[in-house]
């Protein structure tokens, strides 16, 4: 079940979780990469354990500032290692870059915060 929340509610939701996985859409471009890395940095600065997942290779020009990122994650790892998934810049479920081991139905079964600027989302 999904619902829209205010910025304050979204912030509160972030603060209540500690182990957070951040991901975006497939074939990441500048706003996908920038928003994921920015969120990862923000969460780590709050003392959270935060990781970025990019199952498809990053464009060469972005690799130098991305730092270490996850390139694959099993379902078991996702369940055991994270209590919240933050999805950014992803217009629809078909484009979520979660890798072959995970899918949109799995993500919906987890605590999920979806933040996006696409009108159709």
Which residue's structure tokens are 């970025």?
A: 52
Establish if 29 lies at the interface with Mn ion (CB under 5 A): yes
Find the part of the chain contacting Mn ion (CB under 5 A) among 24-32, 45-53, 70-78, 107-115: 24-32
Tell which residue, 42, 43, 22, has the closest CA to residue 32.
22
Give the range of 22-30, 52-60, 72-80, 90-98 binding Mn ion by CB under 5 A: 22-30
Cβ-based nearer residue to Mn ion, 9 or 29: 29
Q: Which residue stretch of 3-11, 55-63, 81-89, 95-103 sits at the interface with Mn ion (rule: CB under 5 A)? A: 81-89
Q: Is 36 in the site for Mn ion (CB under 5 A)?
A: no
92 binds Mn ion per the rule CB under 5 A: no
Per the document, the length of the chain is 121
Joined tokens for residue 72: 């694959």
| 112-115 vs 84-88, strand pairing mode | parallel
Find the shortest distance in angstroms from Cβ 50 to Mn ion. Answer: 20
Residue in 20, 69, 89, 96 binding Mn ion, rule: CB under 5 A: 89
Residues near Mn ion (CB under 5 A) are 29, 31-32, 89
């Amino acid at each position: 079940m999904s619902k829209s929340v205010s910025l304050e509610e979204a912030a509160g939701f972030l603060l209540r979780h500690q182990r957070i996985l951040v991901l975006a859409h497939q074939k990441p471009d500048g706003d996908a990469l920038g928003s994921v890395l920015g969120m990862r940095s923000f969460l780590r600065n709050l003392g959270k354990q935060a990781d970025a997942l990019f199952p498809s290779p990053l464009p060469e020009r972005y690799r130098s500032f991305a730092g270490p990122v996850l390139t694959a994650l099993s379902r078991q790892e996702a369940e055991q290692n994270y209590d919240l998934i933050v999805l950014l810049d992803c217009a629809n479920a078909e484009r979520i870059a979660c890798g072959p081991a995970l899918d949109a139905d799995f993500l919906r079964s987890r605590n999920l915060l979806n933040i996006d600027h696409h009108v159709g989302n």
